[in-house]
Chain A
């Protein structure tokens, strides 16, 4: 390896980037747009679920239950129905995600048999929203039920009976279960994967398209030197993008950051090497610039979005798909970022993903260096 030749290649690459301000704009604008889009658009918090109510009894007791739903922050009563047909229309049309139906003999049942039930009709097409709404509804009804019991024991002059077993929760690391705090590290990983692979995907194919490949081949530069020199400038652009994304995540979207900057720096550098190497590999394998950037997009956008664990939990996927996720470098980086941001993990806690990421970098580096052939055929 000759340092002089690496420097020469890097310098040439910097000049080329500098002379193409439009692609430089893309490099800076893409992270900004992505951060804004995903930071605001990706939100799994479910509040104010639109519901409709169908009170078939209209008693004081049924009205009290309706009031409990009205008072809950998680629901918003948008319609009051008078028959089942209207309930069906409201759910079919998607105006309500849930309908609370109180049977006509609700308070009678409660008085006579000491048990009564209320129906929750859920639009389960969106199973996640339905599940979460059901959880909230159960909490509303349970607390209402507790009140009814309390009133009864008080009216009978008995001491209040305690609920025998209760679950006391403590949520660690993301106390209020804010989905954005979990999603932002994933967004940073996604943006860096996208930008990183795009940056280097053009480097070699550009030489082919501009006809400078012949000149490059005739120089004494080796594969390793060429790769190092080509990746180096983009590594610094990538770090700049990473800083931009992380600053937006922490200061604009107020994602809690509990770890150390050094941990972040080390792991981000490693991840950048992987994605830049991936882009270079694609570039060295495909001669057209458009083809290369398309492939770079295909292997980063959807796999990172769906298989890195930030949109869908990896543990819940079938084993074969879980195996596939090991091929997605953002999987490791996201698990690192998530821990550094929310848990405040240090390098020692992150040995496993860091080692895997380093292994990935080595393999991709070797493949990428080999993919470039100093022939014109």
Chain B
């Protein structure tokens, strides 16, 4: 049995070695994608274009506006002279945020009456708007706090300051809220899925199309041997690709790796089994490359969307959450992010590892069964 498998593996490697162009096609596009998507995928919010309408022209109003600009989160791109200009700036998307300070702001502040600063936010991009609002809140609250202390010292020097409770954030694993640390491991998982599924599914279908599959069928090889013989070379190719992409991605974007590399290796191996299983299963169902291509698309795209790559699984409807629980990528993302950023080990990741192993076995077993059928 092992001799036949070995022969098949040898054949695959020989085939790969002869096709220089294919090797180039295999490695260059994922690397380019890694770099571009690593840069593009970010939810961080800096330099939000902001327009200002200051009708108070006081020291206080200027101080508040300066705090927005100094935070680095907002960039004053325009100074409006009337509300119509604010409207136009937001309508034309020249500004996402507008700060309006009415006349009498400073006077009310000095009197100790609540003075409002109006903030208008273009909510079309809901996520950017939400995060920008959080920063608005922080800036205005800090300003108000100082004003309150100042005021109570001036008005009632004897009275102690009003009691305040503050929240001290302690962001673990990613102190600067760096989006790239979250997304680069995700891009690695995505590219592995896309590459390996395409690679494996096309391999068998091509043999079927060219007619070499029939030649293999007349040899005494058994379905399980055939599947293993196909799987082993693609496993190593997939592993090599993942290592190269992960290496380049981590070094280029300086993503920290705090975990145990062997835990990640185990997770990656199990993930590759599942992904290979998907590819092999598709190849046993499809007769032509055209069909394989369409099927790949219908499988890869939902796997990507329902993985938690950027859209939290917890926010999805129950049915979609159920689908994501049979998606190997959603488990692998937990493993890769957990090992890269959190440094957690098998004691935490064993449920994901187990799920990946079960999915891998099920998919590979299914493709052996299907393959046997397709021979009859």
Q: Footprint of B on A, CB under 8 Å? A: 26, 33-34, 37-38, 40-48, 50, 65, 89, 91-94, 110, 114-132, 134-135, 137-139, 141-142, 144-145, 148-149, 152-153, 161-175, 177-179, 181-182, 289-290, 293-294, 297-298, 301-302, 306-307, 311-313, 315-318, 320-321, 324, 335, 338-339, 342-343, 345, 349
Contacts and interface: CB of A to CB of B under 8 A. Distances in A.
B214 interface: no
A125 B334 CA distance: 10
B297 interface: yes
A164 B315 contact: no
B252 to A, nearest CB: 13
Interface in B115-164: 115-131, 133-134, 136-138, 140-141, 143-144, 147-148, 151-152, 160-164
Interface string B299-322: 001100110001110111101100
Given A41-B311, A170-B121, A317 B289 contact: no
Contact of A173 (B123, B143, B166): B123
Nearest to A118: B167
A343 B124 contact: yes
A174 B129 CA distance: 10
B302 A178 contact: no
Given A41-B305, A165-B143, A165-B147, A152 B163 contact: yes
- CB-CB nearest 9 A-B residue pairs: A135-B134, A174-B123, A124-B171, A124-B174, A164-B147, A128-B43, A127-B177, A167-B140, A162-B114
Secondary structure call for the A interface: helix
11 contacts: A44-B312, A92-B344, A117-B165, A122-B169, A127-B174, A164-B148, A171-B120, A171-B123, A174-B124, A178-B126, A315-B48
A112 to B, nearest CB: 10
B293 interface: yes
Contacts of B151: 164
B262 interface: no
B44 interface: yes
B330 to A, nearest CB: 12
A313 B128 contact: yes
Contacts of A91: 172
A41 B311 CA distance: 7
B317 A40 contact: yes
B120 A114 contact: no
Interface in B268-303: 289-290, 293-294, 297-298, 301-302
Q: Interface centre among B48, B122, B301, by most A CB within 10 Å?
A: B301
B170 interface: yes
A91 B302 CA distance: 28
B136 A169 contact: yes
A115 B175 CA distance: 25
Contact of A148 (B42, B163, B317): B163
A168 B91 contact: no
B26 to A, nearest CB: 13
Interface string B165-193: 11111111111011101100000000000
A293 B293 contact: yes
Contacts of B168: 117-120
Given A43-B315, A124-B177, A148-B165, A130 B171 contact: yes
A371 B11 CA distance: 38
B36 interface: yes
Contact of A177 (B36, B123, B138, B305): B123
A45 B311 CA distance: 9
A313 B120 CA distance: 19
A43 B316 contact: yes
Interface string B332-360: 00100110011010001000000000000
A177 B122 CA distance: 10
B57 interface: no
Contacts of A47: 315
Contacts of B37: 302, 306
Contacts of A320: 39
> Which of B163, B170, B297, B348 counts the most A-chain CB atoms under 10 A from its CB?
B163
B165 A141 contact: yes
Contacts of B42: 312, 316-317
A196 B128 CA distance: 30
B115 A297 contact: no
A125 B173 contact: yes
B170 to A, nearest CB: 5
Contacts of A170: 118-121
B47 interface: yes
A301 B301 contact: yes
Given A40-B317, A315-B47, A167 B136 contact: yes
Given A41-B305, A162-B112, A173-B123, A128 B179 contact: yes
A167 B45 CA distance: 19
B224 interface: no
Nearest to A61: B165
A123 B320 CA distance: 24
B165 A131 contact: no
Nearest to A126: B182
Given A163-B144, A164-B115, A166-B116, A127 B165 contact: no
Given A43-B312, A125-B337, A127-B43, 17 more contacts: A37-B306, A41-B316, A118-B167, A121-B170, A124-B177, A131-B131, A138-B167, A141-B166, A141-B167, A161-B162, A163-B144, A172-B90, A172-B120, A174-B124, A174-B129, A312-B310, A316-B46
Given A118-B166, A131-B134, A125 B297 contact: no
Nearest to B344: A92
Nearest to B337: A125
Contacts of B306: 37, 41
Nearest to B166: A117
Nearest to B141: A142
A272 to B, nearest CB: 20
Contacts of B92: 349
Contacts of B160: 114
A179 B293 CA distance: 32
B311 A171 contact: no
Contact of B114 (A121, A135, A164, A321): A164
A376 to B, nearest CB: 23
A177 B109 contact: no
Contacts of A93: 344, 348
B134 A126 contact: no
